[in-house]
Each structure stands twice: as C-alpha cells, then as structure tokens.
Amino acid sequence: MKKADMIKKIQEKDAKLYLEMKKSEQLFGEDSKLTTLSRREWCSIDSLMKELNIKSDFSLPEWNLAIEIAREIKMVKQFEEEDFAKRDIGHPL
C-alpha cells in the first residue's frame, strides 16, 4: 500500500468516527456513555493524525454531515437557553 493510500484511509476513518460521535451526541446527549465512547475512539485517531502530521480531509461527505449535525446541536442548545431565560420569573417577554 502506498503512503498516499494509507493517508487517505486514515482520513476516511477520521471522518467516519467524527460523524459517529456527532450522531451519538445528537441522539443521546453530550455526556452519554455512548457519546463518550465515540469521542474516545475519534480522539485516538485524531491524536495519531496529529502525531503523523496528517490533516483531516474536510471535503469528505462524512465531514459535511458531521458539521451539519454540529450546527443543529448548537442551534438546539441556543434555543433551549433562550427559551429557558424567557421562563425565568421576572423576565419580560
């Protein structure tokens, strides 16, 4: 296997694991055991990539999906925080 092929495989695995982590976070929450396991798995390949000076390939479809999920998670968090503030006693609507 050529060096370029190995790098591509590592990048594909990185994207796949990051997507799995974001899906888990979306379904079960940031602190769930499943999300924690997914994060640990992704962090291991991320560490390897940093050690080998390999950059993530953000053009892969898995990265695009993961970024969309991350945006959705952020939007939900912001909505929940804003909605909670409105329910606060004495807060003008």
pLDDT (tens digit, 9 = 90+) per residue, 33-78?
999 999 999 999 999 999 999 999 999 999 999 999 999 999 998 8
pLDDT at 85 over 70: no
Residue 23's Cβ-count burial label (10 Å; 0-12, 13-18, 19+) is middle
For the chain, give every domain's residue range: 3-87
What is the reported pTM? 0.83
pLDDT at 80: 81
pLDDT at 82: 78
CA–CA dist 18, 10 (Å, integer): 12
Q: Helix axis angle, 3-28 relative to 61-87, nearest 10°?
A: 20
pLDDT at 87: 64
